[in-house]
Amino acid sequence: MARRVLPLAPGAMGRAFRLYGGPENSAPTGLDHAPTTHTKPSRTMSLPQFPSAWMTEEHRTLQDSVARFFNDRWVPQSAAWREAGIMPRSTWNEAGAQGLLCLSTPAEYGGGGGDFGHDAVVIMEASRANLSGYGGGLHSAIVAPYFFRCGTDEQKQRFLPRMATGELVSAIAMTEPGTGSDLQAVRTFARRDGDHFVINGAKTFITNGQNANLIVVICKTERDAGAKGVSLLLVETDDAPGFRRGRKLDKVGLKAQDTSELFFDDVRVPAANVLGGATGRGFFQLMEQLPQERLIIALQGVAAMERALQETLAYVKQRQAFGKPLWDFQNTRFKLAEVQSTVLATRAFVDACMVSHLAGELDAARAALAKSWVSEQEGKVMDECLQLFGGYGYMMEYPIAELYVNARVQRIYGGTNEIMKELASRYM
């Protein structure tokens, strides 16, 4: 599917996003001015955030366009996707046509030619819209950078243009049963056989696992070499005998995300599909990219917190109890003032991390603390907000319920918060 894009002003991204206008006469659907329904962000405003120093006018234009697109096109379908446990494969082509994929990938490889801030905007708006099934953040801002930062020229040319259009949907097969956060303990093994590697192993908790047709597999190419024995192999699943997909996992939250088990039984992969062209580099390639992955989790968290606060403000100002709105009770106002202060502080912290990261200065320790602290604040905010909905907060037809269950995994994936604190403490 061809991309439908409109050029931006001079200095804009090389392959710009399409400016989505939405239905005729529709109102903007960004953070502070969306229509009030059970599915779209509430009109009721929280206090304004402090200016985000990393956001340019181009980022803000993108933010409004992406918010319109998500709320007009995808949010109305999100309940059905949650029931199905997967977003249709066609949504990836739609995202590619809209220009929402691989925005920070260099234009010479078919990407947007922007910075990480452009991908961050899409990630935050997907989280704000409660589109828990959309794995575009992993695809565009985790997997794609492995290619354009670590891949060979041939790998960049072969894979990135098709990732940018949605022809290829990517996943990264990292976690295994029994290994958790210990990347050096992976058991999946790739044995050299002439011009190929033969992969055997199993992976679990894999985002985009059902839709993906390009999978970066973390495996051992030397069993007893520790970190130096880890390599990243690129598996194209459309023609990969021995590859099979297991269950779509039944999760507490992220119900529309096709998180899956994957199995590799004598899967033959050309030696040219070793990321970067040489074995033994995988662990170090992973370490280089993990700060951005952890920042993504923080970005998702703060956007979800902002949405939860707005949903709750809208609810308590119209919900009656004992003859008056819940907002008229001092406890309600005090609770939400505390939530507001947490959201303001969290957004300021995340914005500071973004400024540092865009300048190439965000280190692994601070990224780890951002991931752990933001996800912990997210859990507290969701709990406080849901409580004010009473029994309705426990109903999945209300966005706060989905926000609540989705928040729990933020403290687990990307490295558990306990591991994040341990990692950060080593630099103190």
The tens place of each residue's pLDDT in the chain, 428 residues long, gives: 344 433 333 344 545 556 566 654 343 333 333 333 345 555 567 888 899 999 999 999 999 999 999 999 999 999 999 999 999 999 999 999 999 999 999 999 999 999 999 999 999 999 999 999 999 999 999 999 999 999 999 999 999 999 999 999 999 999 999 776 677 789 999 999 999 999 999 999 999 999 999 999 999 999 988 889 999 999 999 989 999 999 999 999 999 999 999 999 999 999 999 999 999 999 999 998 889 999 999 999 999 999 999 999 999 999 999 999 999 999 999 999 999 999 999 999 999 999 999 999 999 999 999 999 999 999 999 999 999 999 999 999 999 999 999 999 999 999 999 999 999 999 99
State the pLDDT at residue 17. 57
List the beta strands (DSSP E) in 106-259: 170-173, 189-193, 196-206, 214-220, 230-236, 243-248
State the pLDDT at residue 184. 77
Burial (Cβ within 10 Å: 0-12, 13-18, ≥19) of residue 237: middle
- Nearest one of 141, 119, 162 to 1, comparing CA atoms: 162
Euclidean distance between CA atoms 232 and 190, whole angstroms: 10
Show the tokens assigned to 8: 């931006």
State the pLDDT at residue 181. 63
Which residues sit opposite 196 in a β-bridge?
A: 193, 270
Euclidean distance between CA atoms 121 and 116, whole angstroms: 9
State the pLDDT at residue 49. 87
Which residues sit opposite 197 in a β-bridge?
A: 192, 269
State the pLDDT at residue 22. 61
Q: If residue 59 lies in a helix (H) or strand (E), which one and from where to where? A: helix 57-69
Q: Which amino acid is at 173?
A: A
Euclidean distance between CA atoms 230 and 216, whole angstroms: 12
Euclidean distance between CA atoms 15 and 7, whole angstroms: 8
Contact predicate 234/152, CB 8 Å: no
Domains along the sequence of the chain with CATH? 57-169 (1.10.540.10), 172-283 (2.40.110.10), 286-425 (1.20.140.10)
Residues 6 or more apart whose CB falls under 8 angstroms from that of 346 comprise: 301, 302, 305, 374, 377, 378
DSSP letter for 140, please: I
Q: Which residues are catalytic?
A: 293
State the pLDDT at residue 37. 38
- C-alpha to C-alpha distances, 417 to 85, 197, 413, 424, nearest whole angstrom: 27, 35, 9, 10
